[in-house]
Structure 1
Amino acid sequence: MASKNTTSPNGRQNVQRSNRDSARWIAGLLLLFVGLFSAAAVFFSFFSWAPDQSVLQKSVEDRELIGAEIENLCGVAGARLGMLLVDRSFGLFGILIPVMLVLIGIRIIRQRPLLVNHSILSLFFIMILGSLTLGFAFADRWSICCSTGWGGAFGIEVSTLLRTHIGAVGTLILLLGGWILTGVFINRNFINKVNEVGNVMADKGEKIVEIVKHKVVVPLGRVPGEDGAITEEAPEPAPKAAEPAAPAAPAAPAAVVPEPPVQKAAPIHVERPAESVAAAKATLRDEDDDPFIELTPDGKPVGEVVPEETEPQEPAGDEEFTEVDLSHPEGRVVMGRGGLIELERPAFRPAAPAAPVSDGPFTEIIVGDEPEEPVEMRAEIPVEVTAETPAEVLPAPEPQGEGVVVTVESNEAKLVDEKAIPTESYDPLKDLVNYHKPPVTLLEDYVSDSEVSDEEIFENKTKIEETLKYFGIPIQRIKATVGPTVTLYEIVQAQGVKIAKIQGLQNDIAQSLKAESGIRIIAPIPGKGTIGIEVPNRNKQIVSMYSAVRSLRFQESKAELPVVIGRTIQNENFVFDLAKMPHLLVAGATGQGKSVGLNAIITSLLYRKHPAQLKFVMIDPKMVEFSLYSKVERHFLAKMESEDEAIVTDPRKAVYTLNALCTEMDNRLELCKKAGARNISEYNEKFTSRRLNPLNGHRFMPYIVVVIDEFADLIMTAKEVETPVTRLAQKARAIGIHLIIATQRPSVDVITGKIKANFPARVAFRVMQMIDSRTILDRPGADQLIGRGDMLISKDGELTRIQCALVETKEVERIVDYISKQQGYTAAYALPDYTPDNGEGQQMGSEEASSAPLKYDSLFSEIARSAVQDGSISTSMIQRNYEVGFNRAGRIMMQLERAGIVGRQQGAKPRDILYHDLPSLEAKLQELGVF
């Protein structure tokens, strides 16, 4: 219905508004008020986000119990709106969304078209680019206005995605281009302003260069006078064949210019005051253009010129030379920058010889008695003096009886500038400077819709109260803490009630609650005066590795080997330092989450450590659990040099690998002993600060984490594996080697007393019997878990219940693929080869174990000749070239070493060949009786 215009009796025109206009006004006002409220909520959330979000994470009952209140002046809705627009969206620039709502409301009220206008589009582009820029620059660090970071969740995630695909430089170029295009869109004159600013900066730069050029650099041919003025000097003469007296270059070794026979005539020379001469000579000394200085007998420079006649200087020929009379008996001619300069010669010399004065690379020393007359110069054939003229060709003055002029050359040692000497510490990460840690977006975010309802908590609380009251146990209060899989009910009994009485009612309480897997009573809870009853939730939540890795506690952890493994009952991420444990025992029944727990530990370390800082040794008798990690062999894995595969699947080779780790441990302990360090942290700190010499065998030592998936199968196949495991557990923690052992059979013949004594940290998944729980944890509790990642971890004497984080195979594949596509080392981290003795080889059941110890192998002589010819030998080369097994190749290498043909193994270095020609080797083989 259109509006109508009517005329009132007084002549005024009235406009009748239609329903459409009213609806437009209502919509515009609503948008305006909603935008103002949103802007206020976002603004107040900048100052109260931390307490508000901690309150929002609690249930309504918990808020009433602890009396927590929202600090945002816009209430709960304002706090949630601020968290949505700032934390989960665009960070600081999230406040532009309410501003755009206000502008749209004003446009609707003012009857403007509803098309998105220039201002709103400009704000939208600024919001997107601003969030991306802050997310790229700061990520989730230094945030004081929101929990995720300056750029919000959108800026952080999109910038991380851009870094992954186009790198940091590409992202920076993209952002710069986006800002420039946005500036052009906002203001069409933006390009002109950029050009004007560039021109102004270029002009100022040219002016600065000209000022420096005129005021700092002294032009050639000008010397500053005493009053600061610039005095022109005669130009440097160029050598010509017609005038041999002119020097070729001022930088050539100076020689005494011979006095040519010329007729007596009035000299024509340039008149120079004494001050100008002294200033000119000072300038020459600074620039090292003229190394000779004329000295008086008392060692002082001659600073005065006594002219006989002063005539204006006339150019001769092409105005490059100055005519000077050299026949004056009382003067001396020296070479200056502008040509020949006549100086006054004194009529006598003192008896004491003058001290040598050196202003350049040559020093002139006067040797002899008192001469009554100055030394005469003899006229010789003029020689053109150049920089390449040898000393024999230069004309020398005739020696006189009264004294000899000796020229001494003194070379000064060249020094390096103090600032040019490198003082920075050694950085092992520069070996792979372009390595990027995997982004968190490679993990899945498992969001569970099912949560513990208030009705379920109230129902369980009522049943616990009724059961205890029925057995005569009054309760003062109950507090519920909801976790991902179980809920902890903390009760405080009345005075005089024994704890043992409540513990005896465990089965009765489980019956009344109708729990699936029973309940677990903690009496009392350590550090609290309450009794805990853990009740499984009806709907279990999934703890994703995505949320665990993104947690603030894990990202800000200062641990050497930080590991986040899951969430506690308090719904907090559990982070521990593997370097302080120092070894970990993982046990549980089949299918209860051990392999997932191991993958969670490995994934945590891959997300926090650089390949130069951490190496894994993976032993997988089941052959399928760790096969995915073979792609990161050149980044994170360690193996013996003689091995072809980094993932050890043969139990027999696992014994050799563990013994090789014992050799590595001994080598590291020896290096720490030489360096005077007690542990790996002190040693690496000394090495990176360049206080240890690599020529003495010192090197940067990464952490080594040994992961054994099925220890029970390993110890059944090779019983001698317990010895190297025990040695590593006892001594290896100080030098950065840590063990993680997992087994699905927690019996006393697998987890022996030696193992338990050296593994104080233990993880227990669900087991079927209480005796297995006592074997793992030395206490019951693991038999009351509900499975599917529910576990108990014993650390520092405390027992904590945790829901393990879920990381699936496809997530591990994405992580290892991302790492394997980056630049890596040329090979895996080399462990020293371990060669077993013959006795050990017989116990391991090798095919050549029956050979006598003193009998050399049939391939011994052939391999020895090949080693001398090629100049190198290793166990893996013997395996590949002669198609023999690992044990036989190791025995042949040991025989070569005992025969003195090859040297001893020194870590990862190749063995030394002690024979360098075949005749001497043949003599040695005949001596040994091997042909």
Structure 2
Amino acid sequence: MSWRHLITNLNARKRLISAFKSGNIYLGTLERPIFPKIVSVKITDHSTQYTFSLPNGLNPDILKRNYFAILQHFGEHIRLEGEVKRYTLTIYSKSSTGDLAYDIEDIREQLTKLKLGIICGKDRTGAYVAFDLLKQPHILIAGETGSGKSTQLRSILTTLILAKKPSELKLYLGDCKKSEFHIFRKVEHVQCVLSSGRDIAEMLCHIKRELDERSDLTETFEVSHIDELPVEHRRPYLVVCIDEFVMLRKDETVMEILTEVVAIGRTLGVFAILSMQRPNAKVLDTTIRVNLTVSMGFKLRDKTEARIVNTPDAEKIEEPGRFVMNSDKLYDLQAPYLEMGDAKELLNPFMVSKGKTKPVTQDQEKLTEEDVFYDAIDAER
């Protein structure tokens, strides 16, 4: 260790001890304090990370009660993790915030070892964070208008399309706001882009039949996952993505099928990505919430919404594209920013000619008759 590095390390330790002292985070008296033991200090261009342990007999609650003292010394760009005795405090440099351009080559490198990779973004140390949808199925994305939620959806769907062949992945998209998914309409992987509640309900009924068929196959061949089926019976992964699905909350059929997808879809290769602007506890009932294994909370209105999404402090976010992710642990991330024009260019090789509608059910003729029936009612009104 060079003398400069040693001095920097000592100064960092003194700064943390000063924060402990200000917050009364010690045993004994001020004249003879026993401070938490600083186990290590790691300093990079993006952050300073302390690992420390509390002395035996010091109530861990004191860290929560006097957290303000740490904030006063280090500012708001920090994260404290740990429990009982050992903790990690990370102080991020402000320079680590800001836009992150979507770079397909960098992203491909992150996904090489993942079967169905989801690229999330970069943490404050500049490292990419990604996960495998097969291991952590089903995603909830929430955030106010302009927070970066829609761009994250565009990034996730584009990445899935670039990573998988149409024979390996099929996408079913519900666009309740009629504003987000039109660029995917002609992509070969995409089975449908629907906006009306009735059409989305019919699409989900098709997904329900697919779940039943896949479940029967796994039972027949006595396997625990569709990837273990004989080659001739393999099925592609299905991803159902519905933007602003809260608008479908009054349709019991829709909510029942979505609940079933997130409850049993993982082993059957069927996954859900659900997004909403205003999280609602009545819509996100216990069953759905428990099985949405990954939550991404962009800027939310208040603590209540952040708690519903299970992304603490998401209400404090100020920068667009920044979000809190809760999966195997909490992450503070910057989402990659994918321009609409750049997304179209990346998707262009996968575009195919499609008609106005694309059947997604075996009962298309019946559906057409129903459409005529409802059109007649609308005309009478």
TM-score where L is the length of structure 2:
0.81
Alpha-carbon distance between aligned partners in 1 of 2:2 and 2:319, rounded to the nearest angstrom: 29
Selected match of 1:479 from 41, 53, 62:
41
Opposite residue 97 of structure 2, the aligned amino acid is K
**2:80 pairs with 1:522:** yes
Q: Which secondary structure state, in structure 1, belongs to the residue aligned with residue 185 of structure 2?
A: helix
Task: Give yes or no for contact 1:564–1:576 (8 Å, CA) kept in 2.
Answer: yes
Matches within 5 A, 1:235-250: none
Q: Which secondary structure state, in structure 1, belongs to the residue aligned with residue 134 of structure 2?
A: helix
Opposite residue 343 of structure 2, the aligned amino acid is V
Which of structures 1 and 2 has the larger relative contact order (alpha carbons within 8 angstroms, sep 6+)? 2
Matches within 5 A, 1:400-439: none
Alpha-carbon distance between aligned partners in 1 of 2:327 and 2:285, rounded to the nearest angstrom: 19
Opposite residue 647 of structure 1, the aligned amino acid is V
Task: Give yes or no for contact 2:186–2:354 (8 Å, CA) kept in 1.
Answer: no
Alpha-carbon distance between aligned partners in 1 of 2:83 and 2:305, rounded to the nearest angstrom: 23
What is the match of residue 810 of structure 1?
Answer: 341
Q: Which secondary structure state, in structure 2, belongs to the residue aligned with residue 530 of structure 1?
A: strand
Query: CA 1:547–1:530 in 2, change beyond 3 Å: closer, same or farther?
Result: farther
Q: Which secondary structure state, in structure 1, belongs to the residue aligned with residue 235 of structure 2?
A: coil
Q: Encode CA deviations 1:317-373: one digit per residue, 9 max, x unaligned.
A: xxxxxxxxxxxxxxxxxxxxxxxxxxxxxxxxxxxxxxxxxxxxxxxxxxxxxxxxx
What is the match of residue 181 of structure 2?
Answer: 626
Selected match of 2:50 from 490, 499, 509:
490
Opposite residue 806 of structure 1, the aligned amino acid is Y
**2:111 pairs with 1:537:** no
Alpha-carbon distance between aligned partners in 1 of 2:252 and 2:83, rounded to the nearest angstrom: 41
Q: Which secondary structure state, in structure 2, belongs to the residue aligned with residue 788 of structure 1?
A: coil
**2:132 pairs with 1:577:** yes
Alpha-carbon distance between aligned partners in 2 of 1:670 and 1:789, rounded to the nearest angstrom: 42
Shift of 1:476: 5.0
Task: Give yes or no for contact 2:158–2:347 (8 Å, CA) kept in 1.
Answer: no
Selected match of 1:832 from 341, 352, 361:
361
Task: Give yes or no for contact 2:81–2:88 (8 Å, CA) kept in 1.
Answer: yes
Selected match of 1:759 from 285, 292, 295:
292
Query: CA 1:721–1:623 in 2, change beyond 3 Å: closer, same or farther?
Result: same
Q: Which secondary structure state, in structure 1, belongs to the residue aligned with residue 180 of structure 2?
A: coil
Opposite residue 701 of structure 1, the aligned amino acid is R
What is the match of residue 714 of structure 1?
Answer: 248
What is the match of residue 116 of structure 2?
Answer: 561
Selected match of 1:507 from 68, 91, 109:
68
**2:333 pairs with 1:780:** no
What is the match of residue 600 of structure 1?
Answer: 155
Alpha-carbon distance between aligned partners in 1 of 2:355 and 2:319, rounded to the nearest angstrom: 42
Q: Encode CA deviations 1:241-288: one digit per residue, 9 max, x unaligned.
A: xxxxxxxxxxxxxxxxxxxxxxxxxxxxxxxxxxxxxxxxxxxxxxxx
Alpha-carbon distance between aligned partners in 1 of 2:265 and 2:44, rounded to the nearest angstrom: 40
Q: Which secondary structure state, in structure 1, belongs to the residue aligned with residue 193 of structure 2?
A: coil
What is the match of residue 29 of structure 2?
Answer: none
Matches within 5 A, 1:228-627: 464-473=16-25, 474=35, 477=38, 479-480=41-42, 487=47, 489-492=49-52, 495-496=55-56, 497-513=58-74, 515=75, 518-524=76-82, 529-535=86-92, 537=94, 540-546=97-103, 549-550=106-107, 552-554=109-111, 556-557=112-113, 559-627=114-182
What is the match of residue 207 of structure 2?
Answer: 661
Query: CA 1:720–1:459 in 2, change beyond 3 Å: closer, same or farther?
Result: farther
Using the aligned pairs only, state the percent identity: 21
Query: CA 1:749–1:521 in 2, change beyond 3 Å: closer, same or farther?
Result: same
Query: CA 1:494–1:636 in 2, change beyond 3 Å: closer, same or farther?
Result: closer
Shift of 1:753: 1.5
Query: CA 1:462–1:886 in 2, change beyond 3 Å: closer, same or farther?
Result: farther
Alpha-carbon distance between aligned partners in 1 of 2:17 and 2:81, rounded to the nearest angstrom: 17
Shift of 1:598: 1.4
Shift of 1:735: 2.1
Opposite residue 708 of structure 1, the aligned amino acid is I
Query: CA 1:790–1:536 in 2, change beyond 3 Å: closer, same or farther?
Result: farther
The structure with the greater share of residues assigned to strand is: 2
Alpha-carbon distance between aligned partners in 1 of 2:373 and 2:117, rounded to the nearest angstrom: 40
What is the match of residue 647 of structure 1?
Answer: 193
Selected match of 1:884 from 355, 372, 380:
372
Q: Which secondary structure state, in structure 1, belongs to the residue aligned with residue 121 of structure 2?
A: strand
Query: CA 1:827–1:623 in 2, change beyond 3 Å: closer, same or farther?
Result: closer
Task: Give yes or no for contact 1:519–1:784 (8 Å, CA) kept in 2.
Answer: no
Q: Which secondary structure state, in structure 2, belongs to the residue aligned with residue 524 of structure 1?
A: strand
Output the aligned Cα RMSD.
3.7
Opposite residue 537 of structure 1, the aligned amino acid is K
Selected match of 1:730 from 250, 263, 267:
263
Shift of 1:793: 2.3
Task: Give yes or no for contact 1:483–1:569 (8 Å, CA) kept in 2.
Answer: no
Query: CA 1:791–1:758 in 2, change beyond 3 Å: closer, same or farther?
Result: same
Alpha-carbon distance between aligned partners in 2 of 1:483 and 1:749, rounded to the nearest angstrom: 44
Q: Which secondary structure state, in structure 1, belongs to the residue aligned with residue 103 of structure 2?
A: helix
Shift of 1:833: 4.0
Task: Give yes or no for contact 2:206–2:360 (8 Å, CA) kept in 1.
Answer: yes
Shift of 1:482: 5.1
Shift of 1:488: 5.1
Q: Which secondary structure state, in structure 2, belongs to the residue aligned with residue 580 of structure 1?
A: coil
Task: Give yes or no for contact 1:703–1:737 (8 Å, CA) kept in 2.
Answer: yes
Query: CA 1:466–1:523 in 2, change beyond 3 Å: closer, same or farther?
Result: same
Pairs aligned (count): 365
What is the match of residue 434 of structure 1?
Answer: none
Alpha-carbon distance between aligned partners in 2 of 1:763 and 1:805, rounded to the nearest angstrom: 13
Q: Encode CA deviations 1:629-665: one digit per residue, 9 max, x unaligned.
A: 1121xx1112xxxxxxx21111222112112211222
What is the match of residue 224 of structure 2?
Answer: 678
Task: Give yes or no for contact 1:499–1:523 (8 Å, CA) kept in 2.
Answer: no
Alpha-carbon distance between aligned partners in 2 of 1:483 and 1:656, rounded to the nearest angstrom: 52
Task: Give yes or no for contact 1:548–1:805 (8 Å, CA) kept in 2.
Answer: no
What is the match of residue 278 of structure 2?
Answer: 745
Query: CA 1:616–1:551 in 2, change beyond 3 Å: closer, same or farther?
Result: closer
Query: CA 1:681–1:538 in 2, change beyond 3 Å: closer, same or farther?
Result: closer
Alpha-carbon distance between aligned partners in 1 of 2:169 and 2:305, rounded to the nearest angstrom: 33
Alpha-carbon distance between aligned partners in 2 of 1:802 and 1:729, rounded to the nearest angstrom: 25
Alpha-carbon distance between aligned partners in 1 of 2:184 and 2:5, rounded to the nearest angstrom: 49
Query: CA 1:524–1:553 in 2, change beyond 3 Å: closer, same or farther?
Result: same
Shift of 1:758: 2.5
Opposite residue 636 of structure 1, the aligned amino acid is H
Opposite residue 290 of structure 2, the aligned amino acid is A
Opposite residue 884 of structure 1, the aligned amino acid is V
Query: CA 1:885–1:616 in 2, change beyond 3 Å: closer, same or farther?
Result: farther
Task: Give yes or no for contact 2:117–2:133 (8 Å, CA) kept in 1.
Answer: yes
Alpha-carbon distance between aligned partners in 2 of 1:793 and 1:472, rounded to the nearest angstrom: 31
What is the match of residue 791 of structure 1?
Answer: 323
Q: Encode CA deviations 1:111-169: one digit per residue, 9 max, x unaligned.
A: xxxxxxxxxxxxxxxxxxxxxxxxxxxxxxxxxxxxxxxxxxxxxxxxxxxxxxxxxxx
Task: Give yes or no for contact 2:306–2:314 (8 Å, CA) kept in 1.
Answer: yes
Task: Give yes or no for contact 1:588–1:745 (8 Å, CA) kept in 2.
Answer: yes
Opposite residue 172 of structure 2, the aligned amino acid is V
Alpha-carbon distance between aligned partners in 2 of 1:768 and 1:61, rounded to the nearest angstrom: 47
Q: Encode CA deviations 1:707-745: one digit per residue, 9 max, x unaligned.
A: 0111222225x3542111112222333221111111111
Task: Give yes or no for contact 2:141–2:276 (8 Å, CA) kept in 1.
Answer: yes
TM-score where L is the length of structure 1:
0.35
Alpha-carbon distance between aligned partners in 2 of 1:682 and 1:605, rounded to the nearest angstrom: 22
Query: CA 1:61–1:794 in 2, change beyond 3 Å: closer, same or farther?
Result: farther
Alpha-carbon distance between aligned partners in 2 of 1:729 and 1:525, rounded to the nearest angstrom: 30
